[in-house]
Chains A and B, each alone.
Chain A
Amino acid sequence: MSEQLTARADLELAGEPVIPASRPGLRWAMLAVGLLVALALPWFIYPPVAMDIAAWALFAISVDLLLGYTGLLSFGHAAFWGTSAYVTGLIAINAGVPFPLAVLGGALAAMVLAVPIGYLSVRRTGIYFAMVTLAFAQMVYFIANQWRSLTGGENGLQGIPKSFFGIEPIETDSFYFYYAALPVILLGVLVAWRAVNSPFGQVLVAIRDNPARARALGYDVERYKIMVFVLSAGLAGLAGGVFSISHGFASLQELAWTTSGKVVLITVLGGIGTLWGGPIGAGLVVVLEDRLASSGFNGVGIITGAIFIVIVLAFRHGIWGTARNGVGAWMRRRRSHRA
């Protein structure tokens, strides 16, 4: 290893406690604002795009659960998002159940798939973990591509219905559908929030910061990693299921490595190690891509790739982390002025 690597710093997290945790009021206020934004979104943004933001936000949170809280970069999360998109679609088409049930089925399928992939992937750490998850996701992509009778191959799965107890506005109007699907997304966010604010979450952080010490303290590091991997896959599955119901189709794009890359971009852009980063990153990237697509510009990758390069070079704390550090510094300055 060269000199540079001996002085290696760890991941730069956005979630360092700059704002003291002893301010529960602020925390609840932020939660309320977040919820209000989620509820108001389709009034200001074209509802299907608002739904995309919500789905990508949960997808990014699922990636951050691994990256920010456990220190594992999964570069193959499209496997779970996409598998759930297909399974959700198949259930919705063939069983005719209300869509939240289909989405739950899809998420379950993603978790089942995550067991063997997680079991194999956690045998490697760091950059190897990223490469191995990426390779397994590509394997899932090829299987879906070959299994035409089930997935429709390159045509994808078309005509996925939004069945919801025969309530007409929800099944046909994307504005009302948003409010029917939002609880599914919020359920996923709640699970992630409970997971990171629990003893389980504390163990994950311990593993991230010092796996050897966590092991010495008697924690089965591999088992915890597999558990959080499967949980994360389930959340990605919830998001992917909602996405495919919302669009009415599931395509191979959902399983492609570019999708895995896009969700990592969203997560890092928003800021890792905080549940707020994902939604912020998702809002920006989805709206930006929507604008670029409707302006007829082909070459979205040039823009998103350039954003990626700038973020990684200059704003590794992400938007949330950069803003939070700024506010923290401002508050400290004010306090020292007063003293």
Chain B
Amino acid sequence: MSAFLQYTLQGLAAGGFYALAALGLAVIFGVLGVVNFSHGACYMLGAVASAVLLDTLGLSFWWALLVVPVLMFVFGVLMERLLVQWLLRLDPLYNFLLTFGITLVLVDLVKRRYGVSGLPYQLPPGLDGRVTVGSVSLSLYQVFVTLFAVLVCVAVWALLTQTRIGMIVRASTEDAERSRALGINVGRWVTPVFGFGIALAGLSGVLAAPFRAITADMGSNFVIILFAVVVIGGLGSILGAVVAGFLVGLVEAYGQAYAPSFAQVLIFVLMALVVLVRPSGLFGREEAA
């Protein structure tokens, strides 16, 4: 029982990374219609940035949690203004390929600068302990990551449903033409939304920094699992991205615990089942053929 709880927590923590990053992917897709291949690379940049900031400026984990998303927001805005915006009118496959090219460049730049071995990053002081719940001892950091990820997801949810900005973004996602007819400047929100999505990927990277090996390649497999997550959740759906993120995290953790040789395959089996039974994803709407 104690082991099972630990696996569950581990899965929820890993799911937190997926949920946050997938949320960014879903918001970008919703408003821009872009599937951002470089999302994994941005997650990697978030982790590398927190390690470098700690090493050079002595910036602690808590500061990184604040500073890195801002940096990544700026990075995302630049990426959208300089590159992505030119292809928004074309078939979405072109932006997929563009962001793939960006991924190759980013990964090899980081590899050249910081090598292939992992950058060191300790668990932040205060979070390196364990908490005991009844007879079960759990990693405090994993509890923190889970709660923090849920909190951010709820905050984004509130932002999207309770504020005027959120209403505009949702309306643009739903029906851009009609939103414009009602006097909403849809184009104005494209760039900040892209930056926001990238910032979420970066935030996910900061959370992963004390937990995973920080290497240039850490985002490569991550982004493919993210794609599985949004296919499972339904690409247009924000709720779907979050739920599927945690679901995939749990599947991965239970897989590693009970069937280690199949752990990584299980996620894709889950995706295959969803595609088979409900092609538009758990929370997605049917697309016109």
Seen from chain A, the residues whose Cβ lies within 8 Å of a Cβ on chain B are 1-12, 73, 75, 120-121, 123-128, 130-132, 134-136, 138-139, 142-143, 146, 211-212, 215, 221, 257-258, 261, 264-265, 268, 298-302, 304-309, 312-313, 316
Contact = CB atoms under 8 A, between A and B. Distances in A.
Given A257-B224, A313-B87, A2 B261 contact: no
B100 interface: yes
B101 A306 contact: yes
A264 B104 CA distance: 13
Given A2-B32, A120-B272, A312 B98 contact: yes
Contacts, number: 165
B96 A305 contact: no
Contacts of A120: 272, 275-276
B209 to A, nearest CB: 23
Given A2-B172, A301-B108, A302-B104, A136 B96 contact: no
B265 A142 contact: yes
Interface stretch (B125-133, B152-160, B227-235): B227-235
A215 B91 CA distance: 22
B55 interface: no
Nearest to A221: B289
> From DSSP, what is the main secondary structure of chain B's interface residues?
helix
Interface residues of B, number: 59
Contacts of A5: 33, 88-89, 92, 176
Nearest to A143: B265
Contacts of B6: none
B176 to A, nearest CB: 5
Interface of B: 31-33, 35, 83, 86-94, 96-98, 100-109, 111-112, 172-173, 175-177, 180, 186-187, 190, 220-221, 224, 227-228, 230-231, 235, 261-262, 264-265, 268-269, 271-272, 275-276, 279, 287, 289
Contacts of A132: 231, 271, 275
A8 B176 CA distance: 14
A194 to B, nearest CB: 27
B108 to A, nearest CB: 3
B105 A306 contact: yes
Nearest to A11: B91
